[in-house]
Structure 1
Amino acid sequence: MQVKGRLWNLFFLFSPEIFRLHLKEMSFEYFKYKGVNFSPGSYSEEALSFAENEFEVLDDDVYIVTYPKSGTNWMIEILSLLRTKGDPTWCNSLPIWLRSPWYETIEGQSQIKDVVTPRVLTSHLPCHIFAKSFFTSEAKIIYVMRNPKDILVSLFHFSKMLSLYKYPKSFAEFFEDFLQGNVLYNSWFDHVKGWMQMKQNSNFFFITYEELYKDLHKSVIKICEFLGKDLDDSQIDLVIKHSSFNAMKENKMSNYSLIPQDFMDQTKGSFMRKGIAGDWKNHFTVAQNEYFDAVYKEQMKELKMTFFWEQL
């Protein structure tokens, strides 16, 4: 009860207007900050401006940056376990969003002062509105990408649960909104193309959900190399064990079961839904797949990169 009470306070008591927004069923319009869609409640122009222009990035910070539903919480869990060399005690005692808050949200900005240093922070921001202080720092970014077809499916289900998203009327309508970027954080294509401008930078590391899914051991070793972490084989095995889908699903500090229902209604779905790659095949029609492929080809042609999911 103490943990739940603390969570309620963290999400709502410091901002009564958020409490009122999340307590009642209501439709809303996304507002734009520098052309990007955000939802009222957890975001404000003031918080976003602070995140972009005033937030102080520390040289030993690590930022997990993703487009939503790309494996964000999986990476938080992995980095949390790397910090403790595989010991799950910290992951089992502190909620995942307090271990690595979203620094652009109103809630996250209130939580950062309590984050253990060196800080691991999280963001969904596009590159062009990311913290300016990052680009003159020695901080690092781990950018996680995922097959956008699977992201679309995951977001469709997630949008039914999380109050920050407009409730989707149908899969077909959400499919079109996703391709047009008419969703929270805008276009997946623009997000990836923006961040891939940094792919040659030594403080920027990118990996895909599919790589993590296919070979987590190899992926964890790569992450350790990027971060300068020295773990032995037994410690890496512990990281893999405790960051598995089943382990996270059973961990109340990682499965979001402690979040108030008004903010995330898990009676409408499960936050830890499937944890697989390729679920889009169970949702797309042949026509939708062909249409998506055509848009993907046009949008990504200038990037001239082959992503891991394209090889599967």
Structure 2
Amino acid sequence: MSDQEPPTTENVSAPEQEAPTVMSEQEPAKAESEVVAAEVVQEAPAPAVVSEQEPVKTESVIIATEVVQEAPMVVSEQEAPPPKIESGEHDHAAVVEETPMVTNGHDEPQATESVSAPEVPAPVMNGEKEPPAPTPTPPPMESSPKEAPPPTIMNGREPPTTETVGAAELTRMVNCGFKNYTKLVRGKPRGPLLPDAYLKFADKLYNFEFRNEDVMVMAFPKSGTTWVSEIVWALTNIDQLHLMDELGVRDRVFWLEKDAVFSNDRDISTSIEMQRFRELYPNDDPEDGVVLKLAAAEKSPRHFFTHLPPQLHNPDMLNKCKVIYVARNPKDVCFSWYNFLRNLPGEKYKEFEGEFAEFVEGFKAGYILYSPYWEHIQEAWQLRHHRNFHFIFYEDLQTDIMGEMRRLSSFLKLGLGDDQLQKVSELTSFQTMKGREDKLPIIKELQTSFFYKGQVGSWDEAATSLVDARMVAWINENLQGTDIRFTFN
């Protein structure tokens, strides 16, 4: 185990009337001799340091804000040039309503002790007349006064802490359609929304010991996690591909935080998983954890996937484990989440009941488990230059699967030829995986498919022009001053 202290938690009791939290404005900076009457000029953080051997490279963006009452503007003596894409041979030209997007990730607001979501605008239901959708244009990069996110430091960082989501915010979530939300926690300063069961396993997850042979697929939910997990497993088990038709993906790849998400629902564990647990730990209570114990007992090489961001994992993870992060454009992530949740059976698993427009507002407000979306993406993007971290886009897998698999083979130091890669491509195609799921359900008890269409642009099936315009504005706002580019069509 590493020497860092385990995650600590604090319970934040909800006030009777929750005071709004200003998420994007900053107090004016005070100097010893004078107060400058201008909006605060923030500089992007220092480079994220992942290890002493190979620091992450980032670039600073200086954002100049407008002057208030003719006071002098405080800016650095030399502005950094716009950041350049350094993620590979290809460029990600963002497309939002045919307006070129310039970036991905976002400048994150500084967290506060209490959690407050933005007011949810009234959704537009089917059948209502809608005004023509405006053609959104990305705001100029110089105009954002938001603070850039703090650097992600994997070694020597302080363990993350959490706070309980208060009653007022829970009420807003329920009113937005998330009917089954009862007890939730949120990581600080910018961690994800999780069931309170996470608290029981936070220390174990944070101190989980990785090995040099481990491979982890990491992604925000509904970003292609299962697809990439199958690709990576097949690439690294090229001589055992027949097992893909004998064992489900969840029996070959550990969902590392499953104990924390389904800690009280042991009935949804696969029979093979529980069989293994009973054989290895006949006297242990499954409520104390199944997957973490099985993973610790598994021989190398081990395969994992997770929806938790890097900050909630062992700080030593990237010194040993190979991590592949999958990013997908936020429109399709939102629609895929909605489509998945509305098809869950019965009251036990149904998290959302409402219209698509309501769900979109909840997605933007951070009401979805593992939210906020932008913080998740941004933290991973800061780590993209680490030798053990590989950042890929779902949309690139769709358009150039062979090229992306060559890059994965190189990252994993596998040295596979094109004939082998072509075989993996066939076994992990959308139609092949969907057919295999009929025989080997990913989670049998959920009685719903993890695969819908596997296309880019599925958002357009459900979004009205007004809902789309609001989403475009939200995306543009959060892409200011960053350098990741999405493809939407």
TM-score by length of 2: 0.53
Q: 2:328, 2:416 → 1: CA distance?
A: 26
Aligned residue in 2 for 1:74: 227
Whether 1:257 aligns to 2:445 is no
User: Cα distance, 1:60 vs. partner?
Assistant: 2.1
Structure 2 residue identity aligned to 1:63: M
SS at match of 1:91: helix
Aligned residue in 1 for 2:451: 272
Aligned residue in 1 for 2:483: 304
Q: Which residue of 145, 152, 155 corresponds with 2:337?
A: 155
From the superposition, tell whether residues 144 and 258 of structure 1 become closer, same or farther in structure 2 (CA, over 3 Å): closer
Aligned residue in 2 for 1:15: none
Contact 1:67 1:124 in 2 (8 A): yes
Q: 1:87, 1:62 → 2: CA distance?
A: 17
Q: Which residue of 378, 382, 398 corresponds with 1:213?
A: 398
Q: Which residue of 414, 420, 425 corresponds with 1:229?
A: 414
**RMSD of aligned alpha carbons:** 2.2
Q: 2:315, 2:382 → 1: CA distance?
A: 15
Contact 1:58 1:139 in 2 (8 A): yes
Contact 1:63 1:142 in 2 (8 A): yes
Aligned residue in 2 for 1:44: 198
Aligned residue in 1 for 2:264: none
- Rg larger in 1 or in 2? 2
Residues 177-192 of structure 1 mapped to structure 2, 5 A cutoff: 177-192=362-377
Aligned residue in 1 for 2:474: 295
Structure 2 residue identity aligned to 1:160: R
User: Cα distance, 1:83 vs. partner?
Assistant: 2.0
Q: 1:154, 1:256 → 2: CA distance?
A: 21
From the superposition, tell whether residues 115 and 301 of structure 1 become closer, same or farther in structure 2 (CA, over 3 Å): farther
Contact 1:30 1:37 in 2 (8 A): no
Query: What per-residue deviation string (whole Å, max 9, x for no partner) do you get for residues 234-278 of structure 1?
Result: 21111000000111111138x7626342xx132xxx322111111
User: Cα distance, 1:114 vs. partner?
Assistant: 5.6
Q: 1:297, 1:171 → 2: CA distance?
A: 21
User: Cα distance, 1:88 vs. partner?
Assistant: 2.8
Q: 1:174, 1:75 → 2: CA distance?
A: 26
Contact 2:442 2:450 in 1 (8 A): no
From the superposition, tell whether residues 256 and 185 of structure 1 become closer, same or farther in structure 2 (CA, over 3 Å): farther
Q: 2:310, 2:442 → 1: CA distance?
A: 31
User: Cα distance, 1:111 vs. partner?
Assistant: 3.4
Q: Which residue of 309, 316, 322 corresponds with 1:133?
A: 316
User: Cα distance, 1:109 vs. partner?
Assistant: 1.7
How many corresponding residue pairs? 275
Q: Which moved more, 1:109-118 or 1:227-236?
A: 109-118
From the superposition, tell whether residues 256 and 288 of structure 1 become closer, same or farther in structure 2 (CA, over 3 Å): farther
SS at match of 2:335: helix
Aligned residue in 2 for 1:120: 303
Structure 1 residue identity aligned to 2:451: M
Aligned residue in 2 for 1:281: 460
Query: What per-residue deviation string (whole Å, max 9, x for no partner) do you get for residues 126-155 of structure 1?
Result: 2322222314x2321100011110110100
Structure 1: 5+ residue stretches without partners: 1-25
Aligned residue in 2 for 1:11: none
User: Cα distance, 1:202 vs. partner?
Assistant: 1.5
From the superposition, tell whether residues 256 and 276 of structure 1 become closer, same or farther in structure 2 (CA, over 3 Å): farther
Whether 1:173 aligns to 2:352 is no
User: Cα distance, 1:37 vs. partner?
Assistant: 1.6
Q: 1:164, 1:143 → 2: CA distance?
A: 27
Q: 2:398, 2:297 → 1: CA distance?
A: 31
Contact 2:212 2:321 in 1 (8 A): yes
